[in-house]
Structure 1
């Protein structure tokens, strides 16, 4: 069994999709309607689905709740890659936790993507 997808409820699907595509190398697989639903894919075919909050699942997204109730993490092949992603995000004015730091045996930092999604970027020695 393998994980197939994650679905995040966000208020601005296009802004969140653009952020994840630009800074984390995801590819747009499908966009349904104008800002209706986006399916992004990584290089292992894991999909991240971005959609609006659905009534049967609670009607609120993380922005409306004012909380970060989950986070996603990207693992990078080299420590220098973490620094490069951080530099790109900093240049774009992203909401960063600070510079990368040694933590839990690796090198990582956090940022907040549009939609109030906490994103971890890190490297761990092989």
Structure 2
């Protein structure tokens, strides 16, 4: 079994899509402002869908809730890749939690993407 997609409600689809395209190398497969959806892919085929909040499914995003109720994580190939991405994000005044640190056997930091999405960025040594 393989995870197919994750769908996140965000108030500004274009800003959130741009963040993931710019910093995480995702590919834009579809942008449909009319219906309020963007579909991004990673290099493993997993989709990240960014949608306008739908009332029939609760209708709130994390900005409206003012709370981060979940997070997503990216694993990078090298520890130095984590450091380099942190430098890029910090230089662009992105909301980063602090410098990378040794946490749970890996090297990681957190940042917040537009839409109040908490993102974990890390590296773990191969077993």
TM-score by length of 2: 0.97
Q: Name the CA distance, whole Å, in 2 between partners of 1:36 and 1:60.
A: 14
CA RMSD of aligned residues (A): 1.0
Per-residue deviation at 1:33?
Answer: 2.6
Deviant stretches of 4+, over 3 Å: none
Question: What's the counterpart of residue 109 of structure 2?
Answer: 109
TM-score by length of 1: 0.97
Q: Name the CA distance, whole Å, in 2 between partners of 1:19 and 1:35.
A: 20
Per-residue deviation at 1:56?
Answer: 1.3
**Which consecutive unaligned segments of at least 5 residues does structure 2 have?**
none
Q: Name the CA distance, whole Å, in 1 between partners of 2:33 and 2:11.
A: 14
Question: What's the counterpart of residue 26 of structure 1?
Answer: 26
Q: Name the CA distance, whole Å, in 1 between partners of 2:47 and 2:24.
A: 13
> What secondary structure does 2:89 align onto?
helix
Question: What's the counterpart of residue 73 of structure 1?
Answer: 73
Question: What's the counterpart of residue 100 of structure 2?
Answer: 100
Figure out how many residues of one structure are paired with residues of the other and give that number.
126
1:34-58 superposed Cα distances (whole Å, 9 cap, x missing partner): 5821000000010000001111110
**Which consecutive unaligned segments of at least 5 residues does structure 1 have?**
none
